C-alpha cells in the first residue's frame, strides 16, 4: 500500500493472499460463512475480526456493534422493515436501503449477533464499489468532546465538503484487475481535488464511465427527494454505497436489452411482472404509493417522463446501484436533516461537474 492509500490487486499480493488461505478455510467451517470480498470500508470485528461476512444463501452479515450503536442500528432496520409499518416516509425509505432479513448468530456463539442484509453487489459480475460518508459532521449530538475532536481531526474538511470517500474498488478493463483505494486516499482529498477522486472511481483504465455517473446521479437525487420530504430523522456517520458494473461485456449486454426495451415500450409500458399497460406506469414508490387514508400520493404531473425512467430501470439501470448504509447514529428529530442534504447536494454537484468536463 502506498502513502496515498492506493492498493493494487495484482500478482504482488498473491503471496499474502495465499498465506491467508488457512484463515479463510477456518472461517468457511463456521456455518459456511466466508469474508465478504467486496468490503471497501467499515469496522473489522465479529468472527476473527474479518468484518462483513457472506452467508451461504448470498446475504451478507454485519456484526452488531457494541451498545448503544449496534442495538440502535438494529432497531432502525426493524422499524423501517416492520411488517405492520404504516409510516409512509419509512415505507418509501425501504427502497433506498439494503433489504433486511433479521439477525443471525453462529451456532457456537449464539449471543454474537449479526444483521442479515441484502448483498447489493450480488447481481454484478465485476462490481466497482465506493463507500461515501455523507453529512457535514460524522459525530452525533450525544458524542463526547473527545469523540468530536477525534472525528474533526480525521477529516477537518468534512463540514465544508459534506462527504468523505471512505474507500473504493475500481475494475480496470485492460489489466482485468482491481485497484483499491482506502480511507487514507479519501482524507488526502481537498476541496479542489475531491472531484478528481470521484473521477478516479468512474475511470476503468480506458474511459470515464459517464453512463454510470448519469444513472447514479438519478438515484442520489431520489434519495435527496426523500430527505427533502421528511423531518423525523437525522443521520450521522451514515454512508452511501455506490456500485456500478465494471465488466465491459456485461454493460454491452445491458445496452442490447435497452434497445429491445425501447421497442417494447412503444407498444405499452412494460411492468416488472411482464404485463403491459397502455397508461403510464409509475415506478417511483414515492409517487405511486397510497397514503395511510387510502388516497393516492402524487399526481399525473408527478409521473411525467415515467416512460423514460422505466426504460432505464429495465435496461441500463440494472448496471448501477445506490443504497444508504450504516445506521448506528440515526436519531429522531423535529426538523430537516440539513447536514445530510448538504452532503448529498455537494456530491451531486461534483458528479454533475464531471459530466460537464
In order, the DSSP letters of 169-200 are EEEETTTTEEEEE-HHHHHT--TTTHHHHHHH
Of the candidate ranges 36-50, 53-67, 164-178, the one whose mean pLDDT is the lowest: 36-50
The answer to whether residues 171 and 126 touch, using CB atoms and an 8 Å cutoff, is yes
Phi, psi for residue 95 in degrees, rounded to 5: -70, -10
Residue 39 — pLDDT band, cuts 50, 70, 90?
confident
- Give 28 or 126, the one with higher predicted confidence: 126
The answer to whether residues 95 and 285 touch, using CB atoms and an 8 Å cutoff, is yes
Mean pLDDT across the chain: 82
Could you tell me what percentage of the chain is helix, strand and coil, using 3-state DSSP and rounding each to the nearest 5? 40, 20, 40
Q: What is the pLDDT of residue 284?
A: 42
| Highest mean pLDDT pick, 137-146, 255-264, 278-287 | 137-146
Q: What is the DSSP letter of 334?
A: S
Which cell numbers hold the place of 204?
A: 476503468
Other beta carbons within 10 angstroms of residue 271's beta carbon come to: 13
Nearest CA-CA partner of 337 in 232, 253, 196 = 232
d(C-alpha 31, C-alpha 189), whole Å: 41
Where in the chain are the domains? 6-246+319-356
Q: What is the pLDDT of residue 251?
A: 76
Which cell numbers hold the place of 92?
A: 418509501
- Per CATH, domain 6-246+319-356 is 3.40.1110.10: no
Please write the tens of the pLDDT for every residue from 51-106: 799 999 999 999 999 999 999 999 999 999 999 999 999 999 999 999 999 999 99
The answer to whether residues 97 and 239 touch, using CB atoms and an 8 Å cutoff, is no
Residue 46 — pLDDT band, cuts 50, 70, 90?
low
For residues 254-271, average pLDDT: 47
DSSP β-ladder status, 320-325 and 238-245: antiparallel
For residues 195-217, average pLDDT: 98
d(C-alpha 192, C-alpha 353), whole Å: 12
Is residue 126 over pLDDT 90? yes
Amino acid at each position: 500500500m502506498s502513502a496515498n492509500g492506493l492498493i493494487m490487486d495484482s500478482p504482488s499480493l498473491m503471496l499474502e493472499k495465499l498465506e491467508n488461505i488457512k484463515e479463510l478455510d477456518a472461517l468457511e467451517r463456521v456455518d459456511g460463512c466466508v469474508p465478504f470480498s467486496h468490503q471497501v470500508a467499515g469496522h473489522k470485528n465479529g468472527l476473527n475480526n474479518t468484518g462483513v461476512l457472506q452467508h451461504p444463501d448470498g446475504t451478507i452479515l454485519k456484526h452488531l456493534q457494541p451498545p448503544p450503536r449496534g442495538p440502535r442500528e438494529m432497531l432502525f432496520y426493524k422499524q423501517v422493515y416492520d411488517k405492520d409499518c404504516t409510516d409512509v416516509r419509512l415505507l418509501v425509505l425501504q427502497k433506498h436501503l439494503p433489504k433486511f432479513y433479521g439477525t443471525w448468530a453462529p451456532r457456537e456463539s449464539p449471543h454474537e449477533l449479526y444483521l442479515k442484509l441484502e448483498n447489493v453487489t450480488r447481481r454484478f459480475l465485476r462490481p466497482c464499489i465506493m463507500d461515501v460518508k455523507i453529512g457535514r459532521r460524522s459525530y452525533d449530538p450525544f458524542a463526547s468532546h473527545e469523540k468530536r475532536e477525534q472525528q474533526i481531526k480525521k477529516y477537518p474538511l468534512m463540514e465544508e465538503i459534506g462527504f468523505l470517500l471512505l474507500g473504493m474498488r475500481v475494475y480496470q478493463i485492460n489489466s482485468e484487475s482491481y485497484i483499491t483505494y482506502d480511507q487514507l486516499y479519501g482524507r488526502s482529498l481537498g476541496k479542489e481535488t475531491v472531484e478528481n477522486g470521484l473521477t478516479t472511481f468512474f475511470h476503468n483504465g480506458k474511459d470515464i464511465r459517464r453512463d454510470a455517473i448519469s444513472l447514479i446521479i438519478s438515484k442520489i437525487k431520489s434519495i435527496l427527494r426523500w430527505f427533502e420530504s421528511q423531518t423525523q430523522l437525522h443521520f450521522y456517520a451514515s454512508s452511501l454505497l455506490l456500485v456500478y458494473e465494471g465488466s465491459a461485456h456485461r454493460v454491452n449486454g445491458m445496452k442490447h436489452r435497452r434497445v429491445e426495451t425501447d421497442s417494447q415500450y412503444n407498444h405499452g409500458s412494460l411492468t416488472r411482472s411482464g404485463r403491459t399497460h397502455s397508461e403510464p406506469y409509475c415506478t417511483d414508490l414515492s409517487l405511486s404509493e397510497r397514503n395511510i387514508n387510502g388516497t393516492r400520493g402524487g399526481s399525473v404531473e408527478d409521473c411525467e417522463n415515467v416512460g423514460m425512467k422505466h426504460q432505464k430501470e429495465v435496461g441500463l439501470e440494472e448496471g448501477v446501484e445506490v443504497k444508504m448504509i450504516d445506521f448506528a447514529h440515526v436519531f429522531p428529530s423535529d426538523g430537516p436533516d440539513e447536514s445530510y442534504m448538504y452532503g448529498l447536494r455537494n456530491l451531486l454537484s461534483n458528479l454533475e461537474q464531471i459530466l460537464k468536463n
